[in-house]
Amino acid sequence: MVQEVGRRCSDQKIATVDLDSTIIESYKREARATYQGGSGYQPMLALWAQMNLVLADEFRDGNVPAQKEPLRVARRAFQALPTTVKESHFRGDSACWEKELLRWLRDEKRAAGPPGVITFGISVRTAPNLRKHIERLREEDWESYREDSEAIRECADVQNHWPEDEDRPDGAGTLRYVAIRVRKRQGELFANGSAVKYFVVASNQWDWDAVRLLNWQREKAGTIEALHDVLKNDLAAGVIPCGGWEPTRPGCDWR
């Protein structure tokens, strides 16, 4: 089906693959505990953002971490793209900050995937060493990113952060780390007592300014995350098929 869509829309030369997992709550006996508490399943999907078309999916038990082998689904997604696509991109949250997937994306001679550059933007877990580099940034390094009635958000490129354990393929350039600083207005504190929160996005895209890169990476909220919402709430994927129904309490107790 994807190939036929590509044939009919051969003028679409760009493919951005967005990868994400979602929790589906379930009371089936076979359902496993999820990180949110309760039980259910945690499927992973990959979406061709420009065409709003699912490329690959993998149904998983609820206790399977989202960071476990995301490369398997990402690779199938890129393999499904039609040959008319000439420019490839990838976006993911911190579950995609995984060694094997990152190395595959950075390797222009990657196995079982399209050759050449895949531009990516992936959220990064803020490890203590990375946080130290962020906190060393000068105040003039930060620029306005986004503001609302609740908080002020600023961004900055993190300078001189070269992780010692970075597994870089031959010929791959260094990664770019862009930090987001979030501060409450009126001097209020966050729920954990901190005055500031930091988030980081890593990318191999050096030509865009920091704000453009972050806005592009955050666009996945309107693609893959919207897909989860439609599947679960509009198309009933949020209710797992079962062998019986026992109304033993208020609401549905699906077995």
Q: What is the mean pLDDT of residues 174-191?
A: 85
Domains of the chain, CATH where assigned: 1-122+223-255 (3.30.420), 126-161+174-206 (no CATH)
pLDDT tens across 118-129, in order?
999 999 988 888
What gap in Å lies between CA 200 and CA 180, rounded to an integer? Answer: 6
What gap in Å lies between CA 45 and CA 58, rounded to an integer? Answer: 7
**Which range scores top for mean pLDDT: 34-38, 217-221, 237-241?**
217-221
Instruction: Identify the residue with better confidence: 241 or 206.
Output: 206
Which pLDDT value is given to residue 255? 45
Q: Name residue 18's beta-bridge partners.
A: 47, 91
Cβ count near 101 (within 10 Å)? 24
Answer yes or no: is pLDDT of 29 > 70. yes
94: closest CA among 70, 123, 114?
Answer: 123
Percent of the chain at pLDDT > 70 equals 91
69 backbone dihedrals φ, ψ, rounded to 5°: 50, 55
State the pLDDT confidence band at 140, using cuts at 50, 70 and 90: very high
* pTM of the model as a whole: 0.89
The torsion angle over the Cα atoms of residues 126, 129, 131 and 134, rounded to 10 degrees, is -120
CA of 137: how far to CAs of 52, 140, 230, in Å? 39, 8, 41
pLDDT tens across 60-84, in order?
999 999 999 999 999 999 999 999 9
